[in-house]
Each structure stands twice: as C-alpha cells, then as structure tokens.
Amino acid sequence: MKSVTKPYKPKEDKYIFTEGINYFETGKASIWGTGDKDTLELLKKLEIRGKWLNLAAGDGRYNLALLEKADFVVASDIDESALSKLWHNTPKEYRKKLETKAFDITKKFPFEDSLFDGIFCTGTLHLFPKEVLQQIIFEIDRVLKPNGKIIIDFATDIKRVSPSGKLIIFGKEPLYGLNNAKRILKTLFENYHIQMRESKVVEDFEAANPPYTLNCKFIILIADKK
C-alpha cells in the first residue's frame, strides 16, 4: 500500500471529523495513545473470530488487538492517510489478513448484507446526533451476520480542554449525558442482547489537531445479534 500523506480536511457541518493532518508526520504510535485499558482488557477476554469490521479505525489504535484474534479484519475510515499509516505500522505477518477501506460512515457502507461476524467501533459514534446515529446503526446491523457481535464505545459528559484552557467542541456534536446515552443505545439495539459497562478516562492527546486533554465518562457496549 502506498503512503498517503495528503491531509483530509474536516467538514464538521457534514459530520466529517477528521484531524486534517499528514499521519506520516505523527510518529509510529497512534495519535490516540495505546488504547483504553478497559477496552483492551475486554478484547483479550471476548471470543473474536471470523471476519471483523473495524469501523472508523483511524490510525489503528486497536487494530492489532483485533488482528491477533480475528481471521480477517477490514479497517475502515474516511481518512486515507490514517489508514495508510495503520497499514504500514501493521506487522508483516498480519497484513495478509488485513484490508483497508475508505468511506464516509454516515453514508451506505460499501459492503454486502450479512458480511461480517463482528463490528468494532470506538471514539466516534458519540459525535453524531441521534438521527445520523440511527442511520449508522442501521448500516452496522445490515452488514452484520445473524448471531454477530458488536463492540462499541460511546463517550458521554465530554470535556475537552486545550493547553491554553479553552474548551473544545467539534461542530454541533450532541454532548450526550450518561443516562441519556444509555437510553438511546438501548433503543437502537433493541433487537440485540446487550451488556453495558461504564468507564471513564482523563487523557492528553498532544498530537490531535488541535491538541487537548479529554475528560469523559463512556459506555462500552457489547451487543449480540438475535
């Protein structure tokens, strides 16, 4: 795969929340760190097999953890530079079971029905208002096989603070509260067997554009399709 260095500019009015950076100037590690400890622990414990879609994978914070267990992983994002970094940082022994796919998560996914055994998505879905979120979940459900598994996180009570102390908000993001997010997720996944786990994080994202410290609660949802 070629190195894609052209930044993908954000268009927050169209729900495109990219960083607008050349990911090959950000170092080998993910700009989002090594991953949340609760999410990583969950990935170790759960049975993950078959073909998985890593939705809004970015530059690959959790992708290797999926590749180590799944039979095949499609890593997707709207930003080709992020996906290119992800691919180049993947150990060669895992590239044979990795595919990357660039597309807009708010549009119809470029996959056939019932293609994936599992879908994983973190750090993204909380950015969308309920009507857009409903469309994304519809597409997730469409491409997931019967008895398939979904693992997502959903940030709530978000506070982002720049190094200068300024609050940062992305476009018209809804800024969900914990209890409201739980109600919405229960409704959206009413045809699934679901588990919800609560966690929280305070983390510095120095390579984000702009850089900020994140303080939030979040829900880890595990949903099994009926």
Residue 1 confidence (pLDDT): 87
> Is residue 173 one of the residues assigned to a domain?
no
> Is residue 109 one of the residues assigned to a domain?
yes
pLDDT digit string (tens) for the chain, length 226 residues: 889 999 999 999 999 999 999 999 999 999 999 999 999 999 999 999 999 999 999 999 999 999 999 999 999 999 999 999 999 999 999 999 999 999 999 999 999 999 999 999 999 999 999 999 999 999 999 999 999 999 999 999 999 999 999 999 999 999 999 999 999 999 999 999 999 999 999 999 999 999 999 999 999 999 999 9
> Is residue 165 one of the residues assigned to a domain?
no
> Is residue 163 one of the residues assigned to a domain?
no
How many domains is the chain built from?
1
**Cβ contacts of residue 176 below 8 Å, gap of 6+?**
126, 154, 155, 156, 157, 184
Residue 155 confidence (pLDDT): 98
> Is residue 64 one of the residues assigned to a domain?
yes
Spell out the long-range contacts of 107-114 with Cβ–Cβ below 8 A and sequence spacing 24 or more.
108/139, 109/139, 109/140, 109/142, 109/143, 111/53, 111/74, 111/143, 112/143, 113/142, 113/143, 114/142, 114/143, 114/144, 114/145, 114/146
| Domain containing residue 80: CATH number | 3.40.50.150
> Is residue 161 one of the residues assigned to a domain?
no
> Is residue 51 one of the residues assigned to a domain?
yes
Burial 10-38 (b: 16+ CB within 10 A, else e): beeeebbbbbebbbeebeeebbbeebbeb
Range of the domain at 27: 18-155+189-200+220-225
Give the angle 40-45-47 at the CA atoms, nearest 5°: 115
> Is residue 29 one of the residues assigned to a domain?
yes
